[in-house]
């Protein structure tokens, strides 16, 4: 559901760098990064799941580190490089993760896939891919209602092996 345009008294000008592009937009000072990405910048690949930071569907990267965009104020994203699923392919690891998800059939309905992929990229960057248990722990904040977990772990393991 789109929020009405912010009133002049609560509107804030935001200067965001998302997927390598600069964006100038306005939003309520309390607007989340998730809502600004989806409603103002029309980057709808990042999903709104629980809106409470419990499912991981809204995961994006901020300066290469994963953040839950539903819990991050858009104003906090200023002066940071934000990468969404739409920009993941511009990153070498992002391309490898996306390819591995396809090769390992690491998705079913696809709703959680953008957040899973963004977390998987961070998992590889962070080096948390030594064992399957380490991968599971690093990915534990991302829920998959369809239960594609074994294939997600296999995809991350594949990228980890290929990137060594």
Residue 1 pLDDT class (50, 70, 90 cuts): very low
CATH code of 56's domain = 3.10.20.30
pLDDT given for residue 5 in this prediction: 56
Residue 80 lies in a domain: yes
pLDDT tens for each residue of 2-49: 455 555 557 899 999 999 999 999 999 999 999 999 999 999 999 999
Instruction: Quickly count: other Cβ atoms within 10 Å of residue 103's Cβ.
Output: 12
Specify whether 103 is located in the same domain as 154: yes
Distances (CA, A) of 47 to 11, 68, 148: 24, 11, 18
pLDDT given for residue 6 in this prediction: 53
pLDDT tens for each residue of 48-90: 999 999 999 999 999 999 999 999 999 999 999 999 999 999 9
Residue 91 pLDDT class (50, 70, 90 cuts): confident
Residue 140 lies in a domain: yes
pLDDT given for residue 36 in this prediction: 98
Instruction: Quickly count: other Cβ atoms within 10 Å of residue 33's Cβ.
Output: 30
Specify whether 57 is located in the same domain as 27: yes
Specify whether 80 is located in the same domain as 96: no
Q: In 2-112, where does DSSP find H-type helix?
A: 33-35, 92-103
When divided into structural domains, the chain yields a total of: 2
Residue 42 lies in a domain: yes
* Domain extent at residue 60: 11-87
pLDDT tens for each residue of 129-158: 999 999 999 999 999 999 999 999 999 999
pLDDT given for residue 72 in this prediction: 98
Specify whether 159 is located in the same domain as 92: yes
Specify whether 151 is located in the same domain as 114: yes
Specify whether 120 is located in the same domain as 62: no
Write out the H or E segment, with its range, that includes residue 15: strand 11-18
């Amino acid at each position: 559901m789109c929020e009405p345009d912010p009133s002049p008294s609560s509107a804030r000008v935001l200067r965001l760098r998302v997927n390598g592009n600069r964006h100038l937009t306005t939003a309520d000072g309390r607007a989340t990064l998730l809502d600004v990405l989806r409603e103002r910048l029309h980057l709808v690949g990042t999903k709104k799941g629980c809106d409470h930071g419990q499912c991981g569907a809204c995961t994006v990267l901020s300066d290469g580190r994963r953040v839950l965009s539903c819990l991050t104020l858009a104003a906090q994203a200023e002066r940071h490089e934000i990468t969404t699923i739409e920009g993941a392919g511009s990153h070498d690891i992002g391309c490898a993760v996306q390819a591995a998800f396809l090769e390992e059939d690491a998705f079913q309905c696809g709703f959680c896939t953008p957040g899973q992929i963004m977390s998987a990229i961070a998992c590889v960057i962070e080096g948390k891919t030594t064992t399957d248990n380490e991968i599971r722990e690093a990915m534990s904040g991302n829920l998959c209602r369809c239960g594609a977990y074994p294939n997600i772990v296999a995809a991350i393991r594949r990228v980890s092996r290929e990137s060594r």
